C-alpha cells in the first residue's frame, strides 16, 4: 500500500516540480522583451511606437499637467504628442521617454515641459526608481543614462522566475493583453461650462498640506540638472525649442514662495543651465495669467474638476496655440 506513495514522493512529485519550474523559466524568457503593465508610464512606453504621424509639439510634464492633457483637447488633431507622466519618474523619465519618441518620429518644432516646480527638485528613491525607471527603461544605453544621472540601479543578478512571478510573468502578461489601447476622444474645452459652481467655491481644508508644500526646496536636483543638459543636447541635434511652463500653484503657496523669490531663483537656475547649450528656450508661468486660490485644488497639487482643471487646460492651450481655434 505504501509503495505507490513512495514512488510519488521520491520521483513523480520532484519531476512535476522540476517541470513546473522549467515551464515558468521558459515563459519568463519568452516574455522577457514584453513591456510590463503596472502604471500609466508602462502603457505609454508600450504604445509610443504605434502613434500615428508626427507632432509639431511634444508635451512633457508631471501629473498636474497629465491630469488635464488626458482629459481635454489641447491642440489640433495630431499636433500634440502627450508624453506627460508623473513625478515618480522625474524629469529623467521624461527625457528617456522623449528619446524613444525621437527614434521613431520626425523632430518636433518644440518641446513643452509644463509641470510643478517640484518636478525639477525631485529625485526618486531607489524603491521608486526601480518601479518607475530601472524596470521601464531597461536598454543598456538607458541604464547608463540613469546611472550617469545619479539614479540607483540595482545589480542585474539572476533569480528564478518562480520567486518573482509578478515582475517576470504577471506584469508582462498584463502588458501583452492590455497595453495596446485605442486613444480616447478628448473633451473640447469650448463645450465645458465655465461657470464656477457652489461646490467650486467651497473652501477645502488644505492648510497643513499648503504649509508643507510652501516649504518645498525649489532647487534643481542632480538628475533633473543632468536631464536638462541632455534635453539641450537633443534640441541642438533636432533643432527644437524647449518651453518651460510652471503649472498652477495654490495662491497661498505662491505668495510664500514669492516672498523669498524661490520660484524666481529656480527659473534663473534653469536659464543659466540652458543658456548657450539649448537650441532655443522660452519660459512662462501659468500663475501670472490666472490666480488659482487654495480651494481650487483637490489636494496640494491637483486641481478640482471640472472647472479649475478646465481653466488650466484652456490657459495652457491658449498659451501654446494663441489665436488658433479648433
The pLDDT profile of the chain, 326 residues, written as one tens digit per residue, is 457 777 777 777 778 778 777 777 766 666 666 677 778 888 888 888 777 778 999 999 999 999 999 999 998 878 999 999 999 999 999 999 999 999 999 999 999 999 999 999 999 999 999 999 998 998 999 999 999 999 988 776 667 766 676 677 766 766 665 656 655 667 767 655 545 544 444 445 557 777 788 888 899 999 999 999 999 999 999 999 999 999 999 999 999 999 999 999 999 999 999 999 999 999 999 999 899 999 999 998 999 988 999 999 999 999 988 755 54
Digit-coded pLDDT (tens) for 119-140: 999 999 999 999 999 989 989 9
Q: How many CB atoms lie within 10 A of CB 175?
A: 20
Digit-coded pLDDT (tens) for 179-232: 566 556 677 676 555 455 444 444 455 577 777 888 888 999 999 999 999 999
Residue 322's closest CA among 69, 74, 81?
Answer: 74
Three-state DSSP state, 184: coil
Residue 312's closest CA among 296, 295, 294?
Answer: 296
Q: Which residues contact 257 (CB under 8 A, 6 or more apart)?
A: 117, 214, 218, 249, 263
Residue 152's closest CA among 223, 224, 200, 239?
Answer: 223
Task: With 0.95 as the threshold, say if the pTM is over it.
Answer: no
Fold entry, domain 56-157+183-321: Rossmann fold (3.40.50)
Three-state DSSP state, 285: strand
According to DSSP, residue 34 is labeled: S
According to DSSP, residue 141 is labeled: H
Alpha-carbon torsion angle 262, 268, 272, 273, nearest 10? 50
Residue 81 φ/ψ, nearest 5 degrees: -100, 115
Amino acid at each position: 500500500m505504501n509503495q505507490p506513495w513512495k514512488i510519488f514522493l521520491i520521483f513523480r512529485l520532484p519531476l512535476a516540480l522540476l517541470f513546473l519550474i522549467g515551464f515558468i523559466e521558459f515563459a519568463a524568457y519568452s516574455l522577457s522583451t514584453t513591456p510590463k503593465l503596472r502604471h500609466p508610464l508602462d502603457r505609454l512606453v508600450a504604445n509610443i511606437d504605434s502613434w500615428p504621424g508626427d507632432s509639431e509639439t511634444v508635451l512633457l510634464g508631471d501629473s498636474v499637467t497629465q491630469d488635464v492633457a488626458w482629459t481635454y483637447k489641447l491642440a489640433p488633431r495630431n499636433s500634440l504628442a502627450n508624453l506627460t507622466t508623473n513625478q515618480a519618474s522625474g524629469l529623467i523619465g521624461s527625457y528617456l521617454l522623449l528619446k524613444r519618441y525621437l527614434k521613431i518620429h520626425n523632430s518636433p518644432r518644440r518641446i513643452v515641459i509644463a509641470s510643478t516646480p517640484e518636478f525639477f527638485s525631485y529625485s526618486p528613491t531607489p524603491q521608486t526608481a526601480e518601479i518607475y525607471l530601472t524596470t521601464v527603461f531597461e536598454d543598456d544605453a538607458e541604464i547608463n543614462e540613469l546611472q550617469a544621472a545619479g539614479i540607483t540601479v540595482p545589480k542585474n543578478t539572476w533569480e528564478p522566475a518562480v520567486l518573482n512571478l509578478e515582475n517576470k510573468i504577471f506584469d508582462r502578461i498584463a502588458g501583452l493583453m492590455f497595453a495596446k489601447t485605442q486613444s480616447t476622444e478628448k473633451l473640447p474645452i469650448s463645450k465645458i461650462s465655465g461657470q464656477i459652481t457652489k461646490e467650486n467655491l467651497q473652501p477645502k481644508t488644505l492648510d497643513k498640506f499648503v504649509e508643507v508644500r510652501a516649504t518645498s526646496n525649489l532647487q534643481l536636483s542632480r538628475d533633473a540638472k543632468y536631464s536638462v543638459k541632455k534635453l539641450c543636447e537633443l534640441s541642438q541635434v533636432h533643432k527644437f525649442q524647449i518651453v518651460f511652463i510652471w503649472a498652477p500653484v495654490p495662491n497661498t503657496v505662491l505668495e510664500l514662495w514669492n516672498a523669498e523669490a524661490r520660484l524666481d531663483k529656480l527659473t534663473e537656475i534653469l536659464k543659466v543651465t540652458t543658456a548657450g547649450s539649448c537650441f532655443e528656450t522660452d519660459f512662462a508661468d501659468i500663475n501670472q495669467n490666472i490666480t488659482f486660490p487654495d480651494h481650487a485644488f483637490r489636494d496640494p497639487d491637483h486641481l478640482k474638476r471640472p472647472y479649475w482643471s478646465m481653466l488650466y487646460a484652456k490657459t495652457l492651450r491658449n498659451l501654446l496655440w494663441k489665436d488658433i481655434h479648433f
